[in-house]
Structure 1
Amino acid sequence: MTRSGDDLSQGMSALVTGGSRGLGLLIAGQLAGRGCEVTILARDAEELGRAMGWTHRRTGRTVRAVVCDVRDEGAVTAAVDEAAATHGGLDVVIANAGVIQVAPAETAGSRAFHDAMATIFDGTLYTCLAALPHLRRSPHGGRLGLIGSVGALVSPPHLVPYSCAKAAVRALGEGLQAEFGGQAEEEYAWFSTLSGTPVLSMDAERAAEKVVQAVERRRTRAVLTPAARLASLAHGVAPTATTRATGLAARTLPHPPADDQPHPLRQGHALGSPRTPWRRALNKAGRALNDRAAHRYNQRTPGPPTSA
């Protein structure tokens, strides 16, 4: 990859929330591979331990791991300040922590919306507010990356809590860019990506690399997939038609239970097989792909992840 004077380099310090698995783990690996001193935050200590081993096997470098629930503002502030003190400052911060609940809104209930906002938006907000003073002091020009989603532009059926929270992240990113854009030491990057959605996605390795490249190049916004670009364009040109199209898509998805009560959401790997034969076939194929990725990128408990 062609390097420029603004590229991330040896000795720069970085922090990634939700860095113990999935896209966050891959972003941390990309940063470590570029020579950054990396701190990863996540709630699960055991998962963080596996992530440290994964990163060392992948890059030959050791990352710091800090147990932190991004829904707790005090814990986030303490973790960010500790990382800055350990490394003599912070140069790059990626707010990646998130959660996806897949269910009709009436089935998920209001709790799912509160949980999505607490993890996705509040976690991002707390990270931004804690990081800004340190990033302003970075001699390399601080860089802040917020991981968004096409769901912030078009709300897919059965992903409404997620989309609401990502829309708030989008507004936060655009607001920060408007306030601080144009100042080299206070540039902010906002990313729109399908990488975390269960509907349309791109290779996680490639997504992580593109996110880090966008941070390196100080891009204001990076839309990673053709589907996301198409959705953004469609919603901008014909928002009513786009909403109707998502409504038609919703008709192909399972209907909520008939008891009109919110139901607890469960992890995807804990669910049984669908009753309909064609859905069972899709489920089996999808699970095979997802299980391989989940094991590879530390999203499953049994055994340590394997390096790709």
Structure 2
Amino acid sequence: MSRTLHRFADRTALVTGSSRGLGLLIARELARRGCRVMLCARDPRELGFAESRLRAEGAEVASVVCDITDESAPRALLDAVHDRFGPLDVLVNNAGIIQVGPLDALREEDFREAMETMLFAPLRLTLAALPDLRASTAGTLVNISSVGGRIAAPHLLPYATAKFAAAGLSQGLRAELAGAGAGAGEGAGVSVTTVLPGLMRTGSHTAARFHGRPGAEYSWFAAAASLPLLSMDAERAARAIVRAAERRRPELVLTPAAKVGVRLQGLAPATTTRLLGLAARILPGPGQDPRRNVRGSRAAADSPLPAAVTVLGDRAGRRYGEPGPGR
């Protein structure tokens, strides 16, 4: 693994939700830049596989099993980082969940779960990590929001609600933490980068939860998350994210479709709302059992979508550790 000197060389990073998908790829990219990386996720088997995989590539890596929604998680994570590597320099808040379905198939608990996972848990971890980040000469915070944090797409409302909140928190933190770090002059302070990705080919359609009519919801989401014109290669996304953080960029929007959507939302919000309303009318209704919800790997069995449509997304999922159909 190349150890070419970067701003992150010989620094310590913590990446949440890093046993698979985008989090795993960000962790790998940080390690390639010379970072010591602590992984964390809930599934010990997936986490062990991810750690072994990165270590085989030459990474200096460790892992800790952790549910970030647990209020004791920040202390446990930072203790693990300190015990293994020392003070933290880079925190990447990446962990997330996706719930897909119409409003009538969702409950208040679904919104609470999304907010706890993608707003309050990252907030608690960030507050706990701030003493380390402020003391570091390379203190960096990366918050993975989503284009859904700017444009509330239908049938993704809990996700969009939490990502809107996460994007606002991240932007506010950048202003609050500018100059609040070690050293003085240009570049001092904790750098905060807000990332707004569009759809990426990580196999996320197999890990998402689908509500109402799972097979029908899976069909449109899996297709969008797999087709090249609508989704982005996740390895390229991870490289762009780490590069943006290294360069202390305030914001990064990924995928051409996401860039167009964000620009349209800014220039013509009424038109964007009308287009989203049309999309909502085309998408599936709640069905006869609106409280039904299943994971994508099971929803695939009820979907009429040809397997050929999701071949790129399925291949990416196998490569990046997402569970495939039947697992």
- Short-chain TM bin: 0.7 to 0.9
**Aligned-residue offset at 1:290:** 2.2
Distance change (3 Å), C-alpha of 1:106 and 1:152: same
Which residue is equivalent to 1:154? 151
Equivalent pair of 2:29/2:242 in contact (CA under 8 Å)? yes
What letter corresponds to residue 191 of structure 1 in structure 2? V
Q: Which moves more between the two structures, 27-36 or 189-198?
A: 189-198
Say whether 1:271 aligns with 2:309: no
Which residue is equivalent to 1:131? 129
What are the superposed Cα offsets for residues 188-219 of structure 1, whole Å, 9 maximum, x if unpaired? 11111114575342100001111110111111
What letter corresponds to residue 315 of structure 2 in structure 1? R
Pairing partner for 2:64 from 66, 88, 91: 66
Name the TM-score, length of structure 1 as normaliser. Answer: 0.88
Equivalent pair of 1:195/1:207 in contact (CA under 8 Å)? no
Show structure 1 runs of 5+ residues with no match. 303-308
**Aligned-residue offset at 1:114:** 1.3
Matches within 5 A, 1:59-208: 59-138=57-136, 140-182=137-179, 184-195=188-199, 198=221, 199=224, 200-208=230-238
Show structure 2 runs of 5+ residues with no match. 181-187, 205-220, 225-229
Name the TM-score, length of structure 2 as normaliser. Answer: 0.83
What letter corresponds to residue 250 of structure 1 in structure 2? A
What are the superposed Cα offsets for residues 100-125 of structure 1, whole Å, 9 maximum, x if unpaired? 11111221222211111111112211
Which residue is equivalent to 1:296? 319
What letter corresponds to residue 185 of structure 1 in structure 2? G
Equivalent pair of 1:273/1:280 in contact (CA under 8 Å)? no
**How many residues are treated as equivalent by the alignment?**
292
* 2:99 match: secondary structure: coil
Which residue is equivalent to 1:240? 270
What letter corresponds to residue 134 of structure 1 in structure 2? D
* 1:70 match: secondary structure: coil
What are the superposed Cα offsets for residues 30-53 of structure 1, whole Å, 9 maximum, x if unpaired? 111111110011011111011112
**Aligned-residue offset at 1:272:** 4.2
Determine the C-alpha separation between the residues in 1 that align with 2:231 and 2:74.
29
Equivalent pair of 1:52/1:62 in contact (CA under 8 Å)? no
Distance change (3 Å), C-alpha of 1:104 and 1:55: same
Equivalent pair of 1:202/1:225 in contact (CA under 8 Å)? yes
Determine the C-alpha separation between the residues in 2 that align with 1:241 and 1:285.
34
What letter corresponds to residue 231 of structure 1 in structure 2? G
Which residue is equivalent to 2:218? none
Determine the C-alpha separation between the residues in 1 that align with 2:239 and 2:90.
15
What letter corresponds to residue 37 of structure 2 in structure 1? V
Q: Which moves more between the two structures, 115-124 or 179-188?
A: 179-188
Say whether 1:213 aligns with 2:243: yes
**Aligned-residue offset at 1:253:** 1.5
Determine the C-alpha separation between the residues in 1 that align with 2:83 and 2:305.
51
Distance change (3 Å), C-alpha of 1:62 and 1:186: closer
What are the superposed Cα offsets for residues 124-176 of structure 1, whole Å, 9 maximum, x if unpaired? 112211211111111x3200000011101111111111000000101100110
What are the superposed Cα offsets for residues 215-240 of structure 1, whole Å, 9 maximum, x if unpaired? 11111111122222211111111112
Say whether 1:20 aligns with 2:19: yes
